[in-house]
Amino acid sequence: MTETLLQLLRCPFCGTSLQLVANSALTQERGQITSGVLGCECCAFPIVAGIPVLIADDRTRQAMHTLEAGKHDEALAMLLGLGTIKDEKSWRLLSPDTETNLREALQLLSPNAEGSYFLHRFSDPTFVPAEALLRAVLQAETTGPLLDLCGGVGHLTRVLDTARPVRPGVQSTITVDLHFWKLWIATRFTLPGCTAICCSAEDPLPFASNLFPIVTLMDAFPYIWHKRLCASEMARVVRPDGLLALPHLHNALGNNVNSGDPLSPSAYRNLFAGQEPRLFSDKCLLDEVLEHQMVDLSNIKSPDQLGSEPSLTLIASQDPSHYRQLPIPDQLEVTGELQVNPLYKIDHRNGQSYLQLSFPSPDYEAEFGACRRYLPDTLTIDSDLRSPISPASLGTRYAELRRSRVLIDAPPRYT
């Protein structure tokens, strides 16, 4: 984090500004604060691996004291849940010149269904319409930082960051999550160098008011218990002319896998009543992306029209110009590294690549199997797809492979 971020931050509990404490925990490298302690009028919080941890619990306090004792790696390992980092794999992960990639980091930090969910996030059928929506909205110029709440390991954060035609520079995208390890992966792999803040969306948000032109919260609101507080905090931190986007809200009236504690469509709308909320069908959003390459924000649905559809998207903005048909910019440029979607097994023979769609588990297939609408079961490509892959080597097939997400524009060191 940089010192300029401090101007945006407020303590979640007392609301006062946060100051950098000049003590032995403070380390700075090339204008970045990599570790230190932040103080407000009620608490002290650590900054570990450049991530402020604005949580008041025993583990965070212990990490802060460990930092103050000069044991920076131990403080990091503690917050990553790696314990006392005795094994070689953990040391390898923490080393600054590590060759470890995101897939290996997930295997170590989240060897379960959530890790698998994150690895395949870029192409899943709930992510595809959300990405399209934000890429379409972000064609209009926005100034100031964007906020991705409950950002997980940073997939949507990366979309927000790379979709802007002009990025305003440092702190252009801020991601927030409750779990430190997810933010560490986001800042290290998914969007290297992005600004991350570890805090709970159950508490008041740690930001000054009226800051962000766009605030997103995807696939997480039903997991928040204090929904009224979270909704009013989102309304407080977004600019008066800004936009709130909550893609993929599970509908309490529909069937869902892993749905948290969902509400009905009308209850979601009521929570954002002061922000002019509109509801959209996730099913229609996906159809429009796949069939017409556009996002139709004039296709507003009433709670009755949504009925028992499993999920919906809520957009709230005082600016009526958003509610129209928006073309999705064709995403053919490469911002990271081109790679084959990790849902494919690849067999390379005689200069050709044979791809076979392969789901990581039956549960994954049950939840995300609709990706079959755009990911073919098998395909043969007249090219060796071991990286690095160049668009030129694929000739006229390149655009089709990108649009179908057989090839993804992943961050470097993804798999």
Ligand X SMILES: C[S@@+](CC[C@H](N)C(=O)[O-])C[C@H]1O[C@@H](n2cnc3c(N)ncnc32)[C@H](O)[C@@H]1O
Residue 49 touching ligand X (CB under 6 A): no
Task: Tell me how far apart the alpha carbons of residues 28 and 47 are, in angstroms, rounded to a whole number.
Answer: 11
C-beta closer to ligand X: residue 172 or 200: 200
- Cα–Cα distances in Å, from 43 out to 36, 65, 208? 14, 13, 17
337, 102 in Cβ contact below 8 A? no
Question: Would you give the DSSP letter of residue 360?
Answer: S
Among 1, 77, 136, 156, interactor with ligand X by CB under 6 A: 156
Report the nearest approach of ligand X to the CB of residue 130 (Å): 7
Rounded to an integer, what is the distance from CA 117 to the centroid of its chain? 12
Binding span for ligand X by CB under 6 A among 177-185, 283-291, 322-330, 406-414: 177-185
- Contact residue for ligand X among 10, 120, 135, 155 (CB under 6 A): 155
Binding residue (CB under 6 A) for ligand X from 120, 182, 188, 269: 182
Q: Which stretch binds ligand X (CB under 6 A): 150-158, 186-194, 354-362, 385-393?
A: 150-158
The residue of the chain with the least Cβ separation from ligand X equals: 152
**Segment 85 to 144, residues that bind ligand X, using CB under 6 A:** 121
Cα four-point dihedral sign 183, 187, 188, 189: positive
Q: CA 91 → CA 69, 82, 85, 95, 99, distances in Å?
A: 20, 10, 7, 6, 12
Decide: is 224 part of the binding site for ligand X (CB under 6 A): yes
Among 219, 288, 367, 409, binds ligand X (CB under 6 A): 219
- The residue count for binding ligand X (CB under 6 A) is 18
Q: Does 201 contact ligand X by CB under 6 A?
A: yes
Q: Is the peptide bond before 388 cis (omega within 30 degrees of 0)?
A: yes
Residues 274-313, mask of contacts with ligand X (x by CB under 6 A): ----------------------------------------
Residue among 18, 108, 218, 394 that touches ligand X (CB under 6 A): 218
End-to-end CA distance of the chain: 26
- Distance between CA atoms of residues 82 and 353, nearest Å: 38
Tokens of 187: 């800042």
Q: Which of 115, 151, 206, 262 binds ligand X (CB under 6 A)?
A: 151
User: Please, which residue, 74 or 203, has the CB nearer to ligand X?
Assistant: 203
Which tokens sit at 148? 């991705």
Query: For residues 60 and 353, which CB has a smaller minimum distance to ligand X in the complex?
Result: 60
In the chain, what's the furthest Cα-to-Cα distance?
67
Shortest approach of ligand X to residue 185 CB, angstroms? 10
CA distance 367 to 359: 11
Distance CA 337, CA 342 (A): 13
Instruction: Show the tokens assigned to 371.
Output: 């990706």
Q: Which of 13, 21, 27, 202 binds ligand X (CB under 6 A)?
A: 202
Chain residues binding ligand X by CB under 6 A are 121, 150-152, 155-156, 177-179, 182, 200-202, 218-220, 223-224
